[in-house]
Amino acid sequence: MTRRVRRGDRDIQAPDGAIRTLADESSYAVVLTGTDNHIRYVSPQAVQITGYSADELVGMDPFTLIHPDDQDRMRRLFAALRSRPGATVAAECRALRKDGSLWWAAARGTNLLDDPGVRAIAVTYRDITEKKGSDDLGRTAEEALRASEERSRLILATARQAYIAIDSAGVITEWNTAAQFTFGWTRVEAIGRELAALVIPPRYREAHTRGLKRFQESGEARIIGKRLEFPALHRDGHEFPVEFSISLLRHGSRYSFHAFVADVTARSRLEAALREGEARIRSIVESTSDGIMFVSADGRVASVNGRAQQMLAVEPAAVGGTGFAQALEQIGFGPQDREALSAAAQAVLGGRREDYQGDAELPGRRLVLHWVARAARDTIGELTGLTFTLRDVTQDREVSRMKSEFVSFVTHQLRTPLAGIKWLLELAADATDGQDARTYITDAREVNERMVRLVNDLLDLSRLETGALQVDVQPVDLGALTKSVIAELEPGIRQKGHTVVVTGDAGVPPIPTDARLLRQVLTNLVSNAVKYTPPGGTVRVTMSRDAERVHWSVEDTGIGIPARNIPLLFQKFYRAENALAINAEGTGLGLALARLIMQRLGGDVWCESEEGRGATFFCALPLERRPADHPSVDQARLDR
Candidates 2-10, 217-225, 488-496, 586-594: pick the segment binding ligand ADP (CB under 6 A).
Answer: 586-594
Taking the least distance from each CB to ligand ADP, the nearer of 126 and 498 is: 498
Q: Which of 334, 586, 622, 627 binds ligand ADP (CB under 6 A)?
A: 586
Residue 414 or 429 with smaller CB distance to ligand ADP = 414
Nearer to ligand ADP, 229 or 405 (CB): 405
For the beta sheet containing 254-263, the strands, ordered from the edge strand earlier in sequence to the opposite edge, are 172-175, 162-167, 254-263, 239-251, 227-233
Cβ proximity to ligand ADP: between 203 and 412 the closer is 412
Give the residue, chosen from 44, 59, 420, 588, that forms a contact with ligand ADP under the rule CB under 6 A.
Answer: 588
625, amino acid identity: R
Asked if 164 and 170 count as a contact pair (C-beta separation under 8 A), the reply is: no
Q: Do 177 and 157 contact (CB within 8 A), yes or no?
A: yes
β-bridge mates for residue 34, sequence order: none
CB of 419 to ligand ADP, least distance (A): 20
Measured at the CA of 584, the angle between CA 582 and CA 586, to 5 degrees, comes to 140
532 sits near ligand ADP (criterion: CB under 6 A):
yes
8 A C-beta contact, residue 257 and residue 159: no
385/590 with CB nearer ligand ADP: 590
Question: Nearest approach, Cβ of 527 to ligand ADP (angstroms)?
Answer: 8
For ligand ADP, the binding residues in 470-529 under the rule CB under 6 A are 524, 528-529
Judged by beta carbon, residue 190 or residue 526, the one nearer ligand ADP is 526
CB of 446 to ligand ADP, least distance (A): 16
Please name every residue paired with 605 in a beta bridge, in sequence order, or none if there are none.
619
d(CA 489, CA 343): 64
Name which of 201 and 492 has its Cβ closer to ligand ADP: 492
CB-nearer residue toward ligand ADP: 307 or 600: 600
Beta-strand ranges (E) seen in 253-349 are: 254-263, 291-296, 301-304
Q: How far is the CB of 568 from ligand ADP (least distance, A)?
A: 9
CB of 482 to ligand ADP, least distance (A): 16
Q: In degrees, to the nearest 5, what angle opens at C-alpha 135 toward C-alphas 130 and 140?
A: 105
Minimum distance of ligand ADP from residue 317's CB (angstroms): 50
CB of 572 to ligand ADP, least distance (A): 8
DSSP state of 567: G
d(CA 416, CA 447): 10
- The span from the CA of 290 to the CA of 392, in Å, is 8
Point out which residues pair with 377 in neighbouring strands: 383
Instruction: By CB under 6 A, tell whether 555 contacts ligand ADP.
Output: no
Q: How far apart are CA 640 and CA 637, in angstroms?
A: 5
Cα atoms in the Cβ-side hemisphere of radius 13 Å centred on 466? 7
Shortest distance in whole angstroms from residue 633 CB to ligand ADP: 25
Stretch that binds ligand ADP, among 135-143, 223-231, 291-299, 553-561 (CB under 6 A): 553-561
Among 170, 479, 558, 603, binds ligand ADP (CB under 6 A): 558
Pick the piece of the chain touching ligand ADP (CB under 6 A) from 243-251, 295-303, 348-356, 551-559.
551-559
- The amino acid at 353: R
Size of residue set near ligand ADP by CB under 6 A: 21
**Could you tell me the smallest distance in angstroms from the CB atom of residue 553 to ligand ADP?**
11
Task: Check residue 556 for interaction with ligand ADP (CB under 6 A).
Answer: yes
* Closer CB to ligand ADP, 178 or 569, in the complex: 569
- Least distance between ligand ADP and beta carbon 562 (Å): 9
Between 320 and 586, name the residue whose CB sits nearer to ligand ADP. Answer: 586
Quick one: 303 or 565, whose CB is closer to ligand ADP?
Answer: 565
- Segment contacting ligand ADP by CB under 6 A, of 53-61, 78-86, 437-445, 588-596: 588-596
User: Residue 195 or residue 566: which is nearer to ligand ADP going by CB?
Assistant: 566
CB of 289 to ligand ADP, least distance (A): 36
CA distance 337 to 365: 15
Q: Least distance in Å: CB of 618 to ligand ADP? A: 12
At 187, which helix (H) or strand (E)? helix 187-190
Give yes or no for residue 552 binding ligand ADP (CB under 6 A): no
Indicate the residue type of 247.
S
- In whole angstroms, give the CA distance from residue 178 to residue 169: 23
What is the nearest approach in angstroms of ligand ADP to the Cβ of residue 444?
21
Which of the residues 296 through 355 are near ligand ADP (CB under 6 A)?
A: none
- Which residue, 337 or 555, is less far from ligand ADP as judged by CB? 555
Pairing of strands 39-42, 4-7: unpaired
Of 75, 79, 26, 36, give the one whose Cα is nearest residue 59: 36
Rounded to whole angstroms, the Cα distance separating 536 from 293 reads 67
The mark string for 561-580 relative to ligand ADP (x by CB under 6 A, - otherwise) is x-------x-----xx--x-
Indicate whether 590 belongs to the interface with ligand ADP (CB under 6 A): yes
Q: DSSP string covering 335-395, please?
A: HHHHHHHHHHHHHHHTTS-SEEEEEEEEGGGTEEEEEEEEEEE-TT--EEEEEEEEEE-HH
**Beta carbon of residue 556, minimum distance to ligand ADP (angstroms, whole number):** 5
Q: DSSP string spanning 487-546? A: HHHHHHHHHHT-EEEEESGGG---EEE-HHHHHHHHHHHHHHHHHTS-TT-EEEEEEEE-
Residue number with CB closer to ligand ADP (187 or 575)? 575
Residues of this chain that interact with ligand ADP (CB under 6 A) are 524, 528-529, 532, 556, 558-561, 569, 575-576, 579, 586-592, 615
